Amino acid sequence: MRYDGFMRAAPSHDRYPYSAVGERPVYDWPYGKRLAVYIALNLEWFSFGEGLGAELVPAGHQPDVLNYAWRDYGNRVGVFRLAELFAALKLPVSLLVNSDMYAHAPQAVAAFPNAEIVGHGRSNSERQGELTEYRELRLIEETTAAIEKHSGTRPRGWLGPWISQSHVTPDLLQEAGYTYLLDWCHDDQPVWMKTRKGRILSVPYPQEINDIPQIVARKREGADFADMIADAFDVLHAECGKRPLVMGIALHPYIVGQPHRFKHLARALKHIAGRADDKVWFTTAGAIAAHAASLPQGTVP
């Protein structure tokens, strides 16, 4: 809010109205479940010698070999360690795929033959929110076409590289045929967002139960992150008797695919899998979106 002689209301995005979680309609997930749990595994490619990238240590001059190689470890080694764990625990996976992965590391995507593929831009060396509307549309079109070509299925969900959006991103996604997005981390339930030609569903994607903010940014390590996963599940499991909830777990192979962190991630996921009961639905982001969209008008805010 700004004061310049008159009081002016703070600007709003006008995508969705405020809604208190305890005042919404109560519904079930399929089979009468109440807690939908999904793994969001980010498969990302990075340019060498330019562009953006998560950092293990502060970058020096380009080419930044240290940080580039650290990220590359995830696509060469860590991702396959994770694939074996998810298969052993029979956990579904939503793969958030940079389309450049198909050109540079297709085996990493192929390690998850039954996974849902979610659009995640071309690479994680760029932010789509910094582009003009035309260039952003081209990014969405190029990513979609590449995923459809290589997977045989057109993606229905999207997470922007670096969770970056412009003022028209939801509009462009909906107009390109996307039915849900993951960028808005504002709720524990799906929420409808208005677009200029209709609407698109926002499915909860975590920024707290996410290895980049916790391990890279906040400098917590694998044991702490695993405890967070288990603790979040326990709270949501106890709470879901009141209302349907979504728990996402956001992972990156170059972080939790490292051996010393993988050990603790495995512990947390085994804890969750071991507590599976008639309340818990292990699923994908796309299945959550499809079920929410099928509910009677007004059920999902």
Question: 35 by DSSP, 3-state: which?
Answer: strand
160: in domain: yes
For residue 202, with 0-12 CB atoms within 10 Å meaning exposed, 13-18 middle and 19 or more buried, which class applies? Answer: buried
Half-sphere exposure of 1 (CA within 13 A, CB side): 6
Q: Give the residue-averaged pLDDT of 12-17.
A: 93
54: in domain: no
22: in domain: no
Q: Give the pLDDT of residue 10.
A: 86
pTM of the model: 0.95
Q: Give the pLDDT of residue 4.
A: 60
178: in domain: yes
Classify the phi-psi angles of 219: left when phi > 0, otherwise alpha if psi is within -120 to 50, otherwise beta: left
53: in domain: no
1: in domain: no
Q: Give the pLDDT of residue 2.
A: 55
Residue 1 binned pLDDT confidence (cut-offs 50, 70, 90): low
**Domain that residue 72 falls in:** 27-48+61-294
Question: What is the percentage of the chain residues whose pLDDT exceeds 90?
Answer: 91
16: in domain: no
Taking the C-alpha atoms of residue 199 and residue 165, their distance in angstroms, rounded to an integer, is: 16
Residue 60 binned pLDDT confidence (cut-offs 50, 70, 90): confident
Q: Which of 8-17, 20-29, 109-118 has the lowest mean pLDDT?
A: 8-17
Q: Give the pLDDT of residue 177.
A: 98
From the CB of residue 295, how many other CB atoms can be counted at a distance below 10 Å? 14
Is the pLDDT at 15 greater than 90, yes or no? yes
Is the pLDDT at 3 greater than 60, yes or no? no
Nearest CA among 213, 210, 217 for reference residue 265: 210
Nearest CA among 203, 220, 254, 231 for reference residue 94: 203
CA dist 134 to 39, 144, 169, 180, 224, Å?
A: 32, 15, 11, 21, 42
Q: Give the pLDDT of residue 206.
A: 97
Question: What is the domain count for the chain?
Answer: 1
Specify the CATH number for the domain of residue 121. 3.20.20.370
Q: Give the pLDDT of residue 8.
A: 78
Report strand pairing: 35-43 vs 245-251: parallel
55: in domain: no
